[in-house]
Amino acid sequence: ISYQGAINITPVPFLCPFSILQIISLRSGGSYTFRGTNAWIEDDGDSTKLIVEHGLVEVSAQGSTVSVPTGYGNITKEGEAPGPAIALDGDLSLKNVRIVRSALGVEVSAKINPLNNALIQGDAITGAIRGDQKTLIQFPIVGNSVQIEVRNPQGKRRVYPYPLPR
């Protein structure tokens, strides 16, 4: 099966122990092999995120294969070998938060699990919230706080409110 976007694979009993389901991302080119596995796959730009809730998924790209077990995920970028298995973040943690007032607004930086996404004041942020660059929220800022929401691919979320710096 070839896909683009997001897909949830739910296990069903296979009558043949050699039966597999293979899915290929049209975005990253990664090939995912499932054997009665419950997993999520989501394209994000030129990469694909995999979350394995139950079972084992083999990810292949660029001649390399990585096994991703229960409770782990991985990221496969277009034109690259699959990334290593990354442990899932059950508590949706947000680390190294830094909020600094500037002349134009408030600069926010933080670190999250790369399998998760973050929203700052309701706007989707990709890359910036992972601590590799700062995100600027321009004035005026509604309310007296900055809200950072961390979401995982299964839809679980956690909101962190922080007071505006003086």
Query: CA angle, corner 30, sides to 11 and 155, nearest 5?
Result: 50
What's the rounded Cα separation, in Å, for the pair 150 and 133? 17
pLDDT of 153 over the 80 cut: no
pLDDT of 79 over the 90 cut: yes
Between 122 and 72, the more confident residue is 72
pLDDT at 13: 64
Tokens at residue 43, please?
């394209």
- Length of the chain as a residue count: 166
pLDDT at 128: 44
**Percentage of residues in the chain with pLDDT exceeding 90?**
34
What's the rounded Cα separation, in Å, for the pair 79 and 59? 14
Average pLDDT (145-157) is: 85
What's the rounded Cα separation, in Å, for the pair 53 and 50? 10
What's the rounded Cα separation, in Å, for the pair 25 and 6? 9
Q: Order of strands, edge to edge, in the sheet holding 145-151?
A: 123-125, 117-120, 145-151, 157-163
Average pLDDT (102-121) is: 86
